[in-house]
C-alpha cells in the first residue's frame, strides 16, 4: 500500500476505543481506522504509528474479505506487513515495546512472538550498524 493510498483511508479518533487502534469494516463501505488518542499519547507517537500500520496491513491484506485464515494468522500477517512498510524508527519502537513484554493478547500472541515477527526488518538495521 502506498503512502498515497494510506492517506485515502479515513482515520477517526475515538477516545472510547479500548485499544490503541482498530480497523472497522462495514459491508459496502470503505474500511476506517479508529484510534484512541489518549492511548496513543500514553504509548508515544512511534508506537501508535506502528499500530496504525498494523491496521493498514489488515486492509491491504484484505482480511475483511477473506475467510481462509484464523484470527491469529491475520494478526501475525498484519504485524509482518507493518514491520515491512512502517518507517524503521516506528518498527524499532514496536520491537522494543514487544521485547519488554507489551502488546500481548490471546489473538495477537505473546509479546516475544510479536517481537520475533519484526526481526527480519530490525536485524537488517543491526547488521548495517556493525563496524
Provide the 3-class DSSP secondary structure of residue 38.
Answer: helix
Facing residues of 54 across strands?
A: none
| End-to-end Cα distance, the chain | 34
Give the per-residue pLDDT at 24.
94
Instruction: Identify the band that residue 26 occupies on the pLDDT scale cut at 50, 70 and 90.
Output: confident
Question: Stretch 99-118: mean pLDDT, rounded?
Answer: 94
What is the CA 96 to chain-centroid distance, rounded? 14
Segments making up each domain of the chain, as ranges: 3-129
Residue % of the chain over a pLDDT of 90: 76
Give the per-residue pLDDT at 43.
97
Instruction: Identify the band that residue 68 occupies on the pLDDT scale cut at 50, 70 and 90.
Output: very high
Amino acid at each position: 500500500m502506498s503512502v498515497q493510498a494510506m492517506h485515502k483511508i479515513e482515520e477517526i479518533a475515538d477516545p472510547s476505543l479500548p485499544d490503541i487502534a482498530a480497523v472497522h469494516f462495514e459491508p459496502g463501505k470503505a474500511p476506517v481506522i479508529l484510534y484512541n488518542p489518549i492511548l496513543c499519547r500514553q504509548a508515544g507517537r512511534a508506537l501508535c504509528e506502528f499500530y496504525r500500520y498494523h491496521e493498514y496491513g489488515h486492509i491491504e491484506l484484505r482480511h475483511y474479505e477473506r475467510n481462509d485464515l484464523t484470527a491469529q494468522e491475520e494478526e501475525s500477517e498484519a504485524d509482518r506487513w507493518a514491520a515491512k512498510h512502517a518507517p524503521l524508527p516506528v518498527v524499532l519502537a514496536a520491537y522494543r515495546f514487544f521485547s519488554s513484554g507489551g502488546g500481548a493478547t490471546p489473538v495477537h500472541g505473546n509479546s516475544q512472538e510479536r517481537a520475533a515477527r519484526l526481526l527480519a526488518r530490525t536485524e537488517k538495521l543491526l547488521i548495517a550498524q556493525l563496524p
